[in-house]
Structures are given as structure tokens and as C-alpha cells.
Amino acid sequence: MQNFEFYNPTRIIFGKDTIAQLADHVPSEARVLVLYGGSSAEKNGTLAEVRAALGTRTVREFGGIEANPTYETLMRAVATIRAEGLDFLLAVGGGSVIDGTKFVAAAVDYKGDAWDILRTHGADVTGALPFGSVLTLPATGSEMNSFSVISRTETREKLAFGSPHVFPRFSVLDPTKTYTLPVRQVANGVADAFTHIMEQYLTYPAGGMAQDRFAEGLLLSLIEIGPKVIASPHDYDLRANLMWIATLALNGLIGAGVPQDWATHMIGHELTARHDIDHARTLAIVLPAMLRVRKDAKRGKLLQYAERVWNLRDGTEDERIESAIARTSAFFESLDIPTRLSAYGLGTETIDGVIGQLAQHGMTALGEHQDVTLEVSRRVLEASL
């Protein structure tokens, strides 16, 4: 096992009818900016519950944060906070809104050009406004981690930052708030969480027994509930499990003390930035190809994945590995998520552009061995056509 530091101070308030508990966790003197995305938080009643819980506190609202939250929009929220002297943020929505809120929290008192927060991946963030979240879409894990991904429309860039200053103080997870989500978003959430786990699990054996068992347990659970949680939107236990699994998939726990990959995400980000494909769908396109191209370096873990997650014990090593990768693709497809670039109308001509963006962002040595060069990324994209 590798040396590690694990620290996660976010308080999770989980369950039915928990939004009213905001009253206990937002300071009573706080001047609050509520940030949200489109109209769904209003329509499904979540914003009304939030307003009721905040009571007589000073509250301003800022809607319109995009599915891939943009620097341009978020800087308008920063201006509002400065103009109105607000001091506490509350994100109401999914990972996009929470990611955006993290950036806003870090940007308000940031010295210099706020885009540098992304350029330096958060290294020089020295503080942030306190904030909490009310999660409505299980997927990204942003509700219990210190990471954020922000896009810039002007330059078609999508970059990540992280900082211990942007852990949410608390996150309220009420599974009933996911009942009205569109099927496509739930499916994306399953695929996103699945890939988060794989990025931390499918590397090379490093002797982290609990980490491996936890990751496998989350994968097995997602495989068990994946199609059901989409087909039965009002099944509380299914939605509750998806919500908690997606949080656990990226709260630092399963990745502590083991190598991590994240090459699939880096390529996926460029596909979203250039071609507007949903984040989770880019992962479903890239992951199977990534596993095939890097089969030899990942052999030990691929065999473990085949056995413990897919119960594949017969045939040669290569047969078991290929079968496990094929089942991974089939799982995504069972969620109605196509796993080939061609299904999104993209062909060979798209590859040079993505590789160019990776080069521009310094993504030339990705993965757990830093051996995913631009040439390897090119082969992955070719394998995902």
C-alpha cells in the first residue's frame, strides 16, 4: 500500500425530508447566495424547500449555471457576491452547480486573474467562502470532495482544480429529489460514478485490500441497480443507493493508498469541450478503448476485475480480459449510452483536434505510470471510433 493522507470534513445529511435541516447548518447570520442550474430545482419544489429552511436569512439567488459550468457565468456570480456582501454559498443541483460553486467560493477573494485558479489546478488557492450543497443529481461526487471542473466558452477549454479549501461544509442528499430527473441524466450518473471507481481501481495491484474490495463492492452495486434505477424512478432504496454510491465513488476513500489513472477523464474532457458530448458519455466512449489499448500494463487488475466483478473464471487470461471489457461496454449500452465515437457522428477527422487540445493542456504523460503519451491517447481514440 502506498503512503497516503485522507481528510474529508464534509458533513453528509442523508435521507428523506432532510432539506429542512439546512436551518441547523447554515449559520443563522449568514448572507446567502443560492446557486442553481436550470428550471428543474424550481419545478420539483427543491428551491421552495430551501427557501423555507433558510427562513429569515438574507438570501439572493443565482440561476443559470450550465451543465458544463462556465467561467463566464460564474464570474457574474462572483460580481453579485462582491456587490451584495454575501458570505455563504449554497449550491442546489448536481455536480455542475456544485463544481461551479466551488470555483465561485475560491474566486471571490482570489488575488489576480481568477482563471489562474484553473491554470494552476488550485495550487495557490489560500481560502474560499464557506458553502454547502443540496444535491439533486447523483453522479459526480462533487458533494463530498474538493475538486471542480470548469469550462471556458471563449477558448473551448475544460480544466480541473482542487483545494482543501473547497470541501463543502455539508451536503444534503435527499434521494426523493432525484425522482423527477430525466432518464438520460440518471443514466449518465451511473456511468459517471462507474468510471470514477474504475479510474481509482483499474490500475495495477498495489496491495490495498480494503480499497479493492470497496471499489468492487461499488461496481457490483452499480451493475446490480443500473438498469433498475432508471426503470423505477420512484423506488426510494434504488435511488438512495445510487446517491450514496456515487458520493462514495469519489470522496477520496477508495483512492487512498493506491495508484490512480484518470487518463479516460482527461481525454473525455477534451471531447466534451470540443464536441459538446455529455461528460459521462465521453467516459463510456473512452474507457473500454483505454482498457484494451493498455491491457498489458493493467493485466493484473483486469484479471481481478474479471473475476470479482464479472465472475469470469473460465478461459485464457486474454479471453477473460476481453470478456470483462466487453461486459463493461454492454453495461454502458444497457443504460442507453453509446460507447463508440461513430454513434455521436464523429469519425477519424476528430482525432487530431482532441490530440492537439491534450498537447496544449500538457496532457502528454497521463495514467498511473505516466506512460499515456499523445501517441497512446491517439490509439485509444482510434480504438473508440
Residue numbers at the binding site for a copy of itself (CB under 8 A): 1-16, 18, 207-210, 212-214, 216-218, 220-221, 224-225, 236-237, 240-241, 244-245, 248, 253, 256-257
d(CA 274, CA 181): 26
d(CA 99, CA 169): 14
Pairing of strands 88-93, 31-36: parallel
Cell (9 digits) for 66: 450550465
Q: Which is nearer to a copy of itself, 183 or 210 (CB)?
A: 210
d(CA 335, CA 312): 22
d(CA 4, CA 363): 24
Please report how close the Cβ of residue 331 comes to a copy of itself at its closest, in angstroms.
Answer: 16
Q: Which is nearer to a copy of itself, 236 or 344 (CB)?
A: 236
Please report how close the Cβ of residue 224 comes to a copy of itself at its closest, in angstroms.
Answer: 7
Q: Which is nearer to a copy of itself, 10 or 334 (CB)?
A: 10
Pairing of strands 147-152, 157-162: antiparallel
How crowded is residue 307: how many other Cβ atoms within 10 Å of its Cβ? Answer: 14
Give 92's strand partners. 36, 134
Please report how close the Cβ of residue 135 comes to a copy of itself at its closest, in angstroms.
Answer: 14
Q: Which is nearer to a copy of itself, 111 or 313 (CB)?
A: 313
Please, which contacts does 74-78 make with residues 24 or more away whose CB atoms are closer than 8 Å? 74/100, 74/103, 74/104, 74/107, 74/150, 75/107, 75/114, 77/33, 77/35, 77/104, 78/104, 78/107, 78/108, 78/114
Q: Which is nearer to a copy of itself, 117 or 240 (CB)?
A: 240
d(CA 238, CA 235): 6
Please report how close the Cβ of residue 78 comes to a copy of itself at its closest, in angstroms.
Answer: 28
* Residues 88, 129 contacting (CB under 8 angstroms): yes
Q: Which is nearer to a copy of itself, 10 or 80 (CB)?
A: 10
d(CA 31, CA 331): 45
Q: Which is nearer to a copy of itself, 76 or 213 (CB)?
A: 213
Please report how close the Cβ of residue 179 comes to a copy of itself at its closest, in angstroms.
Answer: 15
Please report how close the Cβ of residue 175 comes to a copy of itself at its closest, in angstroms.
Answer: 8
Please report how close the Cβ of residue 2 comes to a copy of itself at its closest, in angstroms.
Answer: 7
The length of the chain, given as a count of residues: 385
Q: Which is nearer to a copy of itself, 187 or 246 (CB)?
A: 246
CA 233 to each of CA 130, 228, 257, 279: distance values in angstroms, whole numbers, following the listed order? 33, 9, 36, 22
Please report how close the Cβ of residue 256 comes to a copy of itself at its closest, in angstroms.
Answer: 7
Three-state SS for 131?
A: strand
* Residues 267, 286 contacting (CB under 8 angstroms): yes
